[in-house]
Chains A and B, each alone.
Chain A
């Protein structure tokens, strides 16, 4: 079955530490890849997306993600996290031409001061 897997369900780290969240998908063919974030008390919002072109994409708030087609991966990174990065992060895949998304289970990230 087609799926999106996020490797960690819960991550705790200190401010200034580096963050990497793993995401793998099992779709063949053309895919569009997204990371969405939900800050406490706020709506889900787009962090970054890969549609085509440069596989290293940069998003808001210093986040970036790398699409590695051979590994079916789209890992999210940030070199130095801040307390305000505490949130739940969701990887999502949109296969084909139209926009419905399949989400991973999410990773809750807690950044301690």
Chain B
């Protein structure tokens, strides 16, 4: 595809509900990242997939957060029992090989609002 796509673009949910956010990386990119940006703050790393390696989950803030990736394509970030502090823009990025110097290409983000 032309770029990283994410869906939905906006999601409003009630506290306690589960949500799923989707990311389609650039075709051929082996690395995929999830970040979140709370209002007025920088991007916060959540999780990183690289090829067939075990994902780096070191940034997930709690066990309510999980993510999966199917091969080198689509990824889904799931937040269970959402809380108001989960409100943020969730950004997905992909890079060709996942090396430190590789440019990450970002999607437009999903704006999550938890009421």
Interface size on A, residues (CB 8 A): 25
Nearest chain B CB to A87 CB, angstrom units: 14
In the complex, are the beta carbons of A104 and B42 less than 8 A apart? yes
In the complex, how many residue pairs between chain A and chain B have their CB atoms under 8 Å apart?
68
| Smallest CB gap from B41: residue in A | A105
Assess the A103–B100 pair: CB atoms within 8 A.
Answer: no
Say which size band chain B's interface belongs to. 20 to 34
Residue A45 CB within 8 A of the other chain: yes
* Seed contacts A44-B43, A94-B100, A103-B44; 20 additional CB < 8 Å A-B pairs: A43-B3, A43-B107, A43-B109, A44-B93, A46-B103, A90-B42, A92-B43, A96-B100, A97-B99, A98-B48, A98-B50, A98-B98, A99-B33, A99-B98, A99-B99, A99-B101, A100-B48, A101-B35, A103-B43, A104-B42
- Interfacial residues, chain A to chain B (CB-CB below 8 A): 4, 6, 32, 36, 43-46, 49, 51, 90, 92, 94-106
